[in-house]
């Protein structure tokens, strides 16, 4: 038995060495910072535009799909059945070839997304409104997705390393697998799904991409709404002056958060019969970046404020400083209003065939009405905060 173990370890050693080298390589690359980030993207010539589109199309239609067969082949070669009597008998040369081909294919994808003029230096570009899916904003997102895929594949290499190492451990078919790490099959499925997801995202319209982000933001408002509602439910009569102020702010913050959730729900769900609209297809990357980023900033400010109110109510002491509260108020004002302005400017209502559409079917009219409600609700909240500041409750 000892000799068979030595023989197995000798045979499998090149595979372990290759897996460890690839894991280290992908880990090192994931930690590197791109020195070109932040540089000016520059205006492309017509030839560069054609080249950029060709590289983009080759990447998503050829290179990315070509990674999948190598992942499947590696699973077939290494995810072998095991029993208590003998070691698995993998085809070493075949596995080494598969690993080399997989690595080369991933390298080609990474090289393509980092090849000028496809390589993005950031997410913003004020001059690329005419580039469709090849805008800097979209290329940066594709590059990010490819980086995430490489991280997933790095995790797969680690799973195979642990699998091979486990072949030297005593085999116990009754072992509890409730808290086991992911299997190679599960990790491979994650990688395959990551590839499909990356391709789908690259094929989607700007509007579809933004809608996915807006939908996630809208759903995440439940966090702050639950915290604010809990404060109003738990509040007792004859509380301290501070807790009364926290209660007032919580009650006034509820409609503010509900209105924001309603806004992001509306703009991320355009399949309803009453509210049909689309997005201008010729937005530049700078505008797309703002429409993508600001909603997350809005959500974050609301969540932090709700959390601080919850902690203040519990501790009977304001956890927020006057400066940080003022910063969040300014930040919220400077993101909500511009976001609404951009939506008003670039959302295009689709024809409903109705001569006199109702408020629900006329998005521009609905947005105008929403903005009025938002300003009223937010003004009431600001007045409550101002009263608490005047009473010296904030440090």
- What is the tens place of the pLDDT at every residue in 372-388? 999 999 999 999 988 88
Average pLDDT over residues 3-14: 79
Q: And the tokens for 369?
A: 């009405």
The hierarchical CATH code for the domain 2-172+179-204 is: 1.20.1420
- What is the tens place of the pLDDT at every residue in 115-172? 989 999 899 999 999 999 999 999 999 999 999 999 999 999 999 999 998 887 665 5
CA 318 to CA 244: how far, in whole Å?
12
Top-confidence range, 29-38, 116-125, 269-278: 116-125
pLDDT at 85: 47
Neighbours of 385 (CB within 10 A): 23
Task: Tell me how far CA of residue 153 lies from CA of 22, 72, 99, 157, in angstroms.
Answer: 10, 12, 11, 6
pLDDT at 84: 46
DSSP 3-60: HHHHHHHHHHHHHHHHHHHHHHHHHHHHHPPPTTTTS---PPPHHHHHHHHHHHHHII
Pair 141, 201: CB distance under 8 Å: yes
pLDDT band at 111 (very low <50, low <70, confident <90, very high): very high
Structure-token match 């913050």, residue found: 253
Q: Which of these, 342, 282, 347, lies nearest to 135 by C-alpha position?
A: 282
pLDDT at 180: 75
**Residue 204: strand, helix, or coil:** coil
- CATH 1.20.1410 in the chain: give the residue spans: 209-390
**CATH T-level topology, domain 209-390:** I/LWEQ domain (1.20.1410)
Helix (H) or strand (E) holding 277: strand 277-279
- What is the tens place of the pLDDT at every residue in 175-203? 555 667 889 999 999 999 999 999 999 99
Pair 59, 108: CB distance under 8 Å: no
- CATH 1.20.1420 in the chain: give the residue spans: 2-172+179-204
- For the CA atoms of 379, 385, 388, 394, the dihedral, rounded to the nearest 10 degrees, stands at -160
Q: Which of these, 338, 323, 331, lies nearest to 395 by C-alpha position?
A: 323
* pLDDT over 70 at 359, yes or no: no
pLDDT band at 35 (very low <50, low <70, confident <90, very high): confident
Pair 230, 310: CB distance under 8 Å: yes
pLDDT at 210: 96
Neighbours of 257 (CB within 10 A): 24
With 0.95 as the threshold, say if the pTM is over it. no
Pair 36, 121: CB distance under 8 Å: yes
């Amino acid at each position: 038995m000892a000799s068979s173990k030595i023989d197995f370890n000798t045979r499998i050693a090149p595979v372990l060495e290759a897996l460890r080298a690839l894991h280290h390589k992908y880990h090192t690359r994931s930690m590197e910072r791109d020195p070109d980030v932040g540089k000016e993207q520059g205006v492309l010539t017509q030839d560069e535009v054609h080249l950029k589109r060709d590289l983009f199309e080759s990447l998503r239609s050829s290179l990315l799909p070509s990674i999948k067969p190598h992942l499947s082949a590696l699973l077939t070669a290494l995810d072998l059945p095991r029993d208590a009597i003998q070691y698995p008998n993998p085809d070493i040369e075949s596995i080494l070839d598969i690993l080399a081909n997989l690595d080369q294919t991933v390298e080609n994808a990474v090289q393509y997304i980092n090849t000028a003029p496809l390589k993005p230096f950031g997410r913003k570009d004020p001059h690329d409104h005419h580039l469709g899916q090849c805008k800097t904003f979209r290329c940066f997102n594709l590059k990010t997705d490819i980086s995430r895929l490489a991280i997933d594949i790095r995790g797969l290499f680690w799973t195979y390393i642990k699998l091979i190492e486990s072949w030297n451990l005593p085999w116990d078919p009754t072992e509890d697998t409730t808290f086991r790490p992911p299997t190679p099959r599960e990790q491979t499925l994650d990688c395959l799904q990551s590839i499909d997801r990356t391709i789908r995202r690259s094929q989607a319209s700007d509007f579809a991409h933004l809608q996915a982000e807006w939908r996630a933001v809208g759903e995440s408002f439940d966090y702050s709404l639950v915290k604010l509602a809990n404060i109003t439910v738990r509040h007792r009569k004859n509380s301290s002056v501070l807790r009364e102020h926290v209660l007032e702010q919580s009650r006034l913050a509820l409609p503010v958060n509900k209105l924001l959730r309603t806004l992001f729900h509306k703009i991320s769900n355009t399949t309803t019969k009453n509210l049909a609209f689309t997005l201008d297809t010729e937005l530049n990357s700078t505008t797309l970046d703002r429409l993508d980023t600001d909603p997350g900033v809005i959500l974050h400010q609301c969540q932090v404020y709700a959390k601080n109110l919850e902690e203040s109510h519990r501790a009977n002491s304001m956890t927020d400083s006057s400066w940080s509260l003022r910063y969040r108020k300014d930040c919220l004002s400077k993101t909500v209003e511009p976001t609404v302005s951009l939506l008003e400017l670039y959302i295009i209502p689709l024809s409903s065939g109705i001569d006199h559409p109702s408020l629900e079917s006329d998005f521009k009219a609905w947005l105008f009405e929403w903005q009025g409600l938002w300003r009223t609700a937010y003004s009431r909240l600001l007045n409550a905060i101002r009263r608490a500041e005047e009473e010296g409750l904030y440090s």
